[in-house]
């Protein structure tokens, strides 16, 4: 069984038909983790193998529990999972073992998934480079000297190497889209509110981050999305939506796709990235879609200023209870905390006014286009020892996260967005592009991604080494 080439859908079909047992799949998964994980450090806090085998055996002997019955999944280490160390990559929480599951973990467990451990993440998920003082860095499987991205870096690497067939991620500023691009897999950021967050703390104000699925094909994304979606009565922003599974390929003929490229020159890119995305767009053209280069719908700096304010406000709100541990936080967390704590209410209000203006403008753009496209990253995976890029193509970055600015138009207004692989660059490193639509178009975007996947199949390919 080649777990790196087998979809979650096919594994679940075999489990349900009795052609494979949960014990057999767990044994193959643990063997794969033992063979691969030491070189990439993607899965952390792995549970005792005997306990996992016993849980798989119990599933085989009992009734079917749900759509993920018997499927091993490691949960991103920003999520609390009962009985599994959940550190958030921070020494403050090193060794912390929750007594109950967060909502997303509870939903996966109820669907029959076997939660085997955690996937590595940056400390508190800050920065698109997966390293932390608890578990260390996660390597890119296409070049162990490069970053895998983040913050869902461990999840993306576990998928790319066949240790998992499905993974959960979270995405504020590209945290599942960026690592999907850099590991040749798919990552889907759903419409904001479709997947409820843990019902704790404030439930009204912060609308930037969301949970979402990652996989090696869009159809598998749909399987996990349906499991983790659905309203929770404890959330005031209750979003309903029909199930997206089974995800089938839409016929792109006649669809209008808007290519935003570098946002009129506002976003710098390293060489080759834009060209690769344009080549990927030609696949959609060959399938019958009409691709058109669009002028920037709104000023990039206006979006960025709104984002930088609202993000710091949101991050500081999440870290506020840790102010007494400020010295133990990494420098970027301290920066976000200090900025957020010093903001006035009117600064936040003005940022939200700018966000609202972009949302209204985007509605108009989607009146003419079925989907919009941007690259999924502005740089190639960088050296693993580098905390974050400080310049792109000679342009200095003024913050630790400015190099991910291409993610902000989607994140700021909560649009559904699929990061799809576009192949490999000259050094054999993967890249991706974002396909996104208006809120509520999750099924449509996934179906377009399925058509693209059927024509390309990038996660099942490997680069020709330079």
Specify the DSSP element, H or E, that contains 132.
Answer: strand 131-132
Instruction: Say which CATH topology domain 8-460 has.
Output: Amidase signature (AS) enzymes (3.90.1300)
Q: How far apart are CA 311 and CA 125, in angstroms?
A: 13
pLDDT digits (tens, 9 = 90+) for 91-142: 999 999 999 999 999 999 999 999 999 999 999 999 999 999 999 999 999 9
pLDDT digits (tens, 9 = 90+) for 178-208: 999 999 999 999 999 999 999 999 999 999 9
Active site residue 312: no
Residue count of the chain: 466
Span 409-436, average pLDDT: 98
pLDDT digits (tens, 9 = 90+) for 251-298: 999 999 999 999 999 999 999 999 999 999 999 999 999 999 999 999
Active site residue 76: yes
Question: For the chain, which residues make up each domain, given as ranges?
Answer: 8-460
Helices marked H in 48-191 — which ranges?
A: 49-61, 103-110, 153-160, 177-182
Model confidence at 58: pLDDT above 70: yes
pTM of the full structure: 0.98
Model confidence at 63: pLDDT above 90: yes
The pLDDT value given to residue 250 = 98
Q: Which residues of 87-99 are buried (b: 16+ CB within 10 A; e: fewer)?
A: bbbbeebeeeebe
Model confidence at 323: pLDDT above 70: yes
Per the CB < 8 A criterion, the answer to whether 73 and 108 are in contact is yes
pLDDT digits (tens, 9 = 90+) for 220-263: 999 999 999 999 999 999 887 889 999 999 999 999 999 999 99
Q: Strand, helix or coil at 421?
A: strand
Q: Are strands 210-215 and 290-293 parallel, antiparallel or unpaired?
A: unpaired
Residue 181 tokens read as 């691009």
Q: How far apart are CA 54 and CA 443, in angstroms?
A: 37
The pLDDT value given to residue 241 = 80
The pLDDT value given to residue 466 = 52
pLDDT digits (tens, 9 = 90+) for 37-48: 999 999 999 999
Model confidence at 328: pLDDT above 70: yes
Per the CB < 8 A criterion, the answer to whether 268 and 378 are in contact is yes
Q: Are strands 139-140 and 136-137 parallel, antiparallel or unpaired?
A: unpaired
Among the listed residues 305, 289, 218, 281, the one whose alpha carbon sits nearest the alpha carbon of residue 252: 289
Among the listed residues 454, 455, 445, 456, the one whose alpha carbon sits nearest the alpha carbon of residue 221: 445
Per-residue pLDDT band at 66 (split at 50, 70, 90): very high
Q: Which of 86, 175, 191, 441 is catalytic?
A: 175
Model confidence at 442: pLDDT above 80: yes
The pLDDT value given to residue 465 = 64
Model confidence at 1: pLDDT above 80: no
Q: Which of 87, 90, 139, 151 is catalytic?
A: 151
Active site residue 170: no
pLDDT digits (tens, 9 = 90+) for 343-372: 999 999 999 999 999 999 999 999 999 999
pLDDT digits (tens, 9 = 90+) for 147-186: 999 999 999 999 999 999 999 999 999 999 999 999 999 9
């Amino acid at each position: 069984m080649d777990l790196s080439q087998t979809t979650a859908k096919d594994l679940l079909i075999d489990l349900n038909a009795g052609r494979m047992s949960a014990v057999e799949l767990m044994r193959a998964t643990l063997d794969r983790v033992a063979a691969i994980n030491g070189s990439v450090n993607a899965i952390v806090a792995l549970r005792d193998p005997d306990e996992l085998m016993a849980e798989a055996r119990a599933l085989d002997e009992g009734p079917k529990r749900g759509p993920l019955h018997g499927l091993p999944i490691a949960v991103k280490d920003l999520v609390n999972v009962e009985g599994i160390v959940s550190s958030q990559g921070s020494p403050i929480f090193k060794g912390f073992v929750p007594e109950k599951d967060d909502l997303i973990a509870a939903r996966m467990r109820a669907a029959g998934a076997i939660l085997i451990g955690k996937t590595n993440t940056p400390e508190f998920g800050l920065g698109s480079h997966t390293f932390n003082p608890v578990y260390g860095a996660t390597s890119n499987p296409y070049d162990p000297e490069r970053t895998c991205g983040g913050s869902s870096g461990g999840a993306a690497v576990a998928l790319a190497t066949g240790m998992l067939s499905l993974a959960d991620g979270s995405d504020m500023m590209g945290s599942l889209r960026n690592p999907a691009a850099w590991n040749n897999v798919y990552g889907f950021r759903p419409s904001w509110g479709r997947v409820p967050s843990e019902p704790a703390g404030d439930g009204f104000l912060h609308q930037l981050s969301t949970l979402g699925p990652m996989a090696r094909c869009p159809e598998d994304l749909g399987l996990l999305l349906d499991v983790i979606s659905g309203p929770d009565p404890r959330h005031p922003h209750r979003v309903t939506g029909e199930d997206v599974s089974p995800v089938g390929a839409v016929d792109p003929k006649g669809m209008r796709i808007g290519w935003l490229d570098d946002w009129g020159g506002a976003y710098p890119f390293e060489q080759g990235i834009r060209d690769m995305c344009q080549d990927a767009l030609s696949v959609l053209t060959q399938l019958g879609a009409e691709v058109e280069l669009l002028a920037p719908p709104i000023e990039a700096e206006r979006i960025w200023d709104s984002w930088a304010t609202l993000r710091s406000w949101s991050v500081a709100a999440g870290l506020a209870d840790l102010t007494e541990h400020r010295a133990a936080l990494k420098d970027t967390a301290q920066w976000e905390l200090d900025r957020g704590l010093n903001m006035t209410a009117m600064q936040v209000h003005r940022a939200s006014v700018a966000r609202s203006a972009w949302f209204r403008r985007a509605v108009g753009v989607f009146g003419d286009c079925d989907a919009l496209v941007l690259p999924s990253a502005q740089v190639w995976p960088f050296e693993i020892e580098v905390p974050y890029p400080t310049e792109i193509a000679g342009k200095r970055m003024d913050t630790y996260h400015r190099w991910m600015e291409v993610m902000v138009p989607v994140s700021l207004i909560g649009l559904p967005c699929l990061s799809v692989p576009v192949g490999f660059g000259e050094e054999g490193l993967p890249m991706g592009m974002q396909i996104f639509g208006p809120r509520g178009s999750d099924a449509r975007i996934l179906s377009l991604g399925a058509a693209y996947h059927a024509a390309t199949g990038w996660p099942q390919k490997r680069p020709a080494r330079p």
